[in-house]
Structure 1
Amino acid sequence: MAKDHAAAERGDARLDTLADDFLKRPGVDWGRMFSTVGLRVRGKVFGLVNHAGELMVKIPQARADELVSQGAVTRIVMNGRTMREWVEMPYAAGEDAWRSLLGEAYTYLDEITPR
């Protein structure tokens, strides 16, 4: 996928704004994944912006199924393989939707990542 620089910059700016609340939490920082930088908890990335400027997060499979069926997100496909827990939400969904989904992703990774 070719990088849409304007869309990626717009998405990165939104993520930077939303990151402030998460970066105040213990164990949360920035880290590299998928050739970009995302928010992580104890070394595990829970949210980032892809090259198209969409929010990518890791959430429980059942929740991903629910959001996909509602049309709120799409599943990420990498190298022909559909990822069970990784979804992407378009920029157009809005800042509040991104904030909420990032919160879900943080909660999930915080629960499953060893302390």
Structure 2
Amino acid sequence: MFRSPGLRTGNKIVAFLGHGDRLIVKLPRPRAAALVDDGIAEPVIMGARTMREWVAIPASPDLETTLQAWTALTREALQYVRLSP
């Protein structure tokens, strides 16, 4: 999973492309949970563990909608990861 094309800041992973046309981003737990609850994102599960700060956002059938959503969430993830210790 973490070997997919992605975005880093320093040595921290911010976002990457998952299988099935999904963008996977790292966000604060409350924000990630809200996106899952709203049906916008899916939880990321590795083995038996749910990664609480990582969510997967499926591509929309409309390319422009996908670009807008993925760009906004990637920017949000970059800001979060940069500020994280």
Same structural fold, with TM-score higher than 0.5 when normalized by the shorter chain: yes
Q: TM-score range by the shorter chain?
A: 0.7 to 0.9
Q: State whether residues 2 and 16 of structure 2, in contact with CA within 8 Å, keep that contact through their aligned partners in structure 1.
A: no
CA RMSD of aligned residues (A): 1.3
Q: Secondary structure at the match of 1:34?
A: coil
> 1:103 matched to which residue of 2?
75
TM-score, reference length from structure 2: 0.88
Q: Which runs of 5+ in 1 are unaligned?
A: 1-32
Percent sequence identity over aligned pairs: 38
TM-score, reference length from structure 1: 0.66
Residue 37 of structure 1: how far off its partner (Å): 2.3
**Number of positions where the alignment pairs a residue of Structure 1 with one of Structure 2:** 81
Report 1:12-51 matches (<5 A): 34-51=2-19
**Structure with the higher helix share, 1 or 2:** 1
Distance in 2 of aligned mates of 1:96 and 1:56: 15
When Rg is computed on C-alpha atoms for both structures, the one with the higher figure is 1
> 1:84 matched to which residue of 2?
52
Q: What's the CA shift string for 1:15-38, capped at 9, x where partnerless?
A: xxxxxxxxxxxxxxxxxx622121
Q: What's the CA shift string for 1:36-69, capped at 9, x where partnerless?
A: 1210001111011012220000000010111111
**Structure with the higher strand share, 1 or 2:** 2
1:72 and 2:44 aligned: no
Distance in 1 of aligned mates of 2:3 and 2:10: 19
Q: Which runs of 5+ in 2 are unaligned?
A: none
Q: Secondary structure at the match of 1:66?
A: helix
Stretches of 4+ moved more than 6 A in 1?
A: none
Q: Secondary structure at the match of 1:52?
A: coil
